[in-house]
Amino acid sequence: MKVPFYDIKAQYTELAAETDAAVHAVISGGAYVMGPNHNALEAEIAARQGCKHGIAVNSGTDALRILMDAVGIGQGDEVITTAFTFVASAETIVQTGARPVFVDIDPITFQIDPAKIEAAITPRTKAILPIHLFGQMCDMTAVKAIADRHEILVLEDAAQAIDSTQHGVPAGSIGIGAGFSFYVTKNLGAAGDAGLIVTNDDELAQRCRSIRVHGMGRERYYYDHIGYTSRMDEVQAAVLRVKLTKLTEWNARRAAFAARYFQELADSDLRLPATLAGNHHTWHQFTVATPERDALQAHLRANEVDSMIYYPVPLHFHEPYARFADGRGSLPVTEEVSREVLSLPIHPHLSAEQVQFAASVVREFTSSRIHAAS
Ligand SMILES: Cc1ncc(COP(=O)(O)O)c(C=O)c1O
């Protein structure tokens, strides 16, 4: 039985009639840029994430970049984040002229370790950019308390965390602003690139809206900022609005598959995902850890079960980012976790049988090693 890691076509098939109608309405209607779907999506996502403003942009990367520009992060500033993330988190910091300061992660949750943040704060620290990795929020109570104590900003990289909450508070609503990604493979994925900024700050929202369109002010062809061209296409907004109607159900399917994995793998010696207290996890990834990760992946591959490694190489091991850390060994937890993690298929278009099969292949691997060792 093949178990694919993603099945984008199955997502489309489930909503084919609605998607085709929505896309056709955009193409035939002629409102291609910042049309009614774009505006409605901004309001819908903002409300969902407990925020006053939503600013649709053309990727999660641009959401972070525009947010950073809008809060004034730039040359000479430092932004605290982690090296166990998708490159965009640090890339956007570097693009502003600021310096990413990598702190280590928690070995159990893989999220930023709040206990490591304070030692990394200097007079140049402008912000913390925590990443809500794999579908659950990092410890925002701790992060926010540290930031408030030192009067620095919190920007949330919520690219992987739509609909995630902590003690009932949605991702994106605690920091001054947050960036979401709707890249194809996210829990809510467009038919291409798309992203969105949320904030409760009126002035910041206005700046983001301006920077998204060349820094244009309230009047056309008058410029208040240096900006970009980063609008979300109306076609993408239309597709996203159709998929949004299914997001709660799709996330529930992910949660059911996570429960199945927990049940089936409880006796294995894998490190299973840990959910922080108070978190509603949306299971963007189901990520296990074992020192024998590569052998486990080979065993899965031999049985046609796909898996992915997020992330195999910590950011400070890549040449362009090496200058922002003290070399190999400087972030020991990040480095160990990068060697050991493996994500199992958990997308909502799997069948219960496929998840059961994937779990049984993992179990076969772990129990054969336990027997070999005894
Ligand atoms: C943690 C994280 N940050 C930022 C991004 C960037 O989003 P996008 O791919 O939409 O530019 C992603 C998505 O891949 C991500 O996973």
Q: What is the pLDDT of residues 31-84, one digit of tens each?
A: 999 999 999 999 999 999 999 999 999 999 999 999 999 999 999 999 999 999
The answer to whether the pTM exceeds 0.95 is: yes
Cβ(157) to ligand 1 under 6 A?
Answer: yes
Q: How large is the average pLDDT for residues 278-295? A: 98
Percentage of the chain exceeding pLDDT 70: 99
Q: How many H helices and E strands in the chain?
A: 12, 12
Query: From the CA of 61, how far away is ligand 1's center (Å)?
Result: 6
d(CA 250, CA 80): 33
Task: Supply the pLDDT for residue 374.
Answer: 57
Cβ(181) to ligand 1 under 6 A?
Answer: yes
Is a pLDDT exceeding 70 seen at residue 309?
yes
SS3 3: strand
Q: Computed from CA positions of residues 132, 121, 63, 220, in that sequence, does the dihedral angle turn out positive or negative?
A: positive
Mutate to test the pocket of ligand 1, among 65, 131, 160, 188 (most ligand atoms within 8 A of CB): 160
Q: Dig out the tokens for 271 from the structure.
A: 């490190």
Q: How confident is the model at residue 292 (pLDDT cuts 50, 70, 90)?
A: very high
**Bond from prior residue into 311 cis (ω within 30 degrees of 0):** yes
d(CA 144, CA 344): 32
Q: Is the distance from CB of 75 to CB of 98 less than 8 angstroms?
A: yes
Is a pLDDT exceeding 60 seen at residue 281?
yes
**Bond from prior residue into 223 cis (ω within 30 degrees of 0):** no
Is a pLDDT exceeding 90 seen at residue 20?
yes
Q: Is the distance from CB of 183 to CB of 193 less than 8 angstroms?
A: yes
Give one DSSP letter per residue of 241-272, joined into a string. Answer: HHHHTTHHHHHHHHHHHHHHHHHHHTTSSSBP
Please write the tens of the pLDDT for every residue from 88-142.
Answer: 999 999 999 999 999 999 999 999 999 999 999 999 999 999 999 999 999 999 9
Q: Which structural domains are found in the chain, ordered by start?
A: 8-103+110-244 (3.40.640.10), 247-373 (3.90.1150.10)
Q: Is the distance from CB of 208 to CB of 70 less than 8 angstroms?
A: yes
Task: Supply the pLDDT for residue 218.
Answer: 84
Averaged confidence pLDDT in the chain? 97
Q: Please name the amino acid found at residue 45.
A: I
The residue assigned the tokens 């995630």 is 164
SS3 289: strand
Cβ(261) to ligand 1 under 6 A?
Answer: no
Task: Supply the pLDDT for residue 369.
Answer: 73
Task: Supply the pLDDT for residue 370.
Answer: 64
Q: How confident is the model at residue 23 (pLDDT cuts 50, 70, 90)?
A: very high
d(CA 199, CA 174): 9
Task: Supply the pLDDT for residue 222.
Answer: 95
Q: How far is CA 54 from the centre of its chain?
A: 17
